[in-house]
Structure 1
Amino acid sequence: TAMPMIRGVFLNPNETFDPQRHTLQFHFTQGDLMRREIESVEVEIMGVAETGLTIGQVEDMKSRTVNDRLTPGFNLRVTGTKLRVVGDKPGVGIFFRETATNTATRVDEGDIVINNPSELMIIIPALPVGT
């Protein structure tokens, strides 16, 4: 059996499906026939799947701008996947990089307010202009 499912946020009960904000998925339940047929399925490995982190957006909580401005001393909300900071090696952490000089400014561990796989909230450190 197949069960359709719509993912995404609807702003009100009368809103219609919008492919820009919603996705349609199907979930399947295996029947006896499908379970028997699994034995005859050929598997071809195409390569290693991309599993790195992704940043969906950054929101400066002071100015309420998205993917635009950074206000040092205030919160920055980062959403995406595989964002959680784990480990204590020197290269592990959150850094802001000044593009012209490639100088990195590290966010102090105590300034990481939320540390989840899909969301980070940090206090933006003092940064040189252009970072």
Structure 2
Amino acid sequence: MATILHRIKAYLYDNVLTKDNPNDFTARTISERSLNVQQICQSAANRGGADISASAMEHATELFLKEMAYQLCDGYFINTGYFMASTTIRGVFDSPSETFNKDKHSIIFQFNQGEKLRAEIPNIEVEILGVAEASAVILQVTDVKSGSVNDLLTPGRNLKIAGSKIKVTGNDPFIGVFFVNTASNVRTMVEESDMVTNNPSELIVVIPALLAGTYQLEVVTQFADSSILKQPRTALLDKPLTVE
């Protein structure tokens, strides 16, 4: 029997991503916070899991990641044991002679778990905290042009947003779909005319003309099942989105 070394907690939400069973649920992990390279290296040094200083470990990690990115850009397949990474071309080529077109095709980097990371799964205990309160939640977004899920944004093209109770409605002047730049905190709102689909479990919007950077997606609405809430509530995607 595996030793339980780690514990994660999760709430259940209505599963809007599958249509075969209208009564099923999906679990969503509660993330206390995100960790950057510096924080992970500091944790390793504090726990005694590193035989070098946190700063030396951070420097070496940054050098490794920089070189890994360089090799990925040359098309190499990366296998660290903990994860695998590869470079993928998205988009359709209509003939054998068609060349790569940045307006039609895109390049993305894909990451998948490796054997060493999979080996840790038996050491994790999962605590389901029950069905989440009836609040708005974003479960998944898909960039239609690139096909990227919870990752890339293509300005001027459609973004599919799947979730629960995310229909944008109400009389508050601050409701809508927003892209918040994580560096500048500038909020860019999707114009009402760029709301292609506005349903409780799915939104399709035209992505605004965002500058290159990282963004947080917010949906602010007063929607409830059978009424309009007095105050708007905000649903956040728990993963950053990137405009290249």
Q: 1:91 to 1:60 in 2, by over 3 A?
A: same
Q: Taking structure 2 as the reference length, what is the TM-score of the superposition?
A: 0.34
Q: Distance in 2 between matches of 1:111 and 1:58?
A: 16
TM-superposed CA distance for 1:91, in Å, is 1.0
Q: Name the TM-score, length of structure 1 as normaliser.
A: 0.62
The answer to whether the aligner puts 1:74 opposite 2:165 as a matched pair is: no
The corresponding residue for 1:128 is 211
Is the Cα–Cα contact under 8 Å of residues 81 and 118 in structure 1 kept in the other structure?
Answer: yes
Give aligned-pair identity as a percent.
Answer: 50
SS in 1 for 2:176: coil
1:51-96 CA distance string (max 9 Å, x none): 2211110000000110010000000000010110002422100000
Number of aligned residues: 89
**Secondary structure at 1:66 match in 2:** coil
1:95 counterpart (178, 181, 195): 178
Once the two structures are superposed, residues 11-66 of structure 1 have per-residue CA deviations (whole angstroms, 9 ceiling, x without a partner) of xxxxxxxxxxxx59xxxxxxxxxxxxxxxxxxxxxxxx622211110000000110
* Contact persistence 1:98–1:128 (CA under 8 A): no
The residue type equivalent to 2:153 in the other structure is: L
**Relative to total residues, which structure has the larger strand share, 1 or 2?**
2
Q: Structure 1, unaligned stretches of length 5 or more?
A: 1-7, 11-22, 25-48
CA RMSD of aligned residues (A): 2.2
Aligned partner of 1:58 in structure 2 is 141
- Gaps in structure 2 of 5+ consecutive residues: 1-17, 26-131, 216-244
Structure 1 CA distance for aligned equivalents of residues 164 and 140 of structure 2: 11
Cα distance, 1:122 vs structure 2: 0.4
**More helix per residue: 1 or 2?**
2
What does 1:1-131 correspond to in 2, within 5 Å?
50-130=133-213, 131=215
Structure 1 consecutive aligned stretches of length 4 or more whose deviation exceeds 4 Å: none
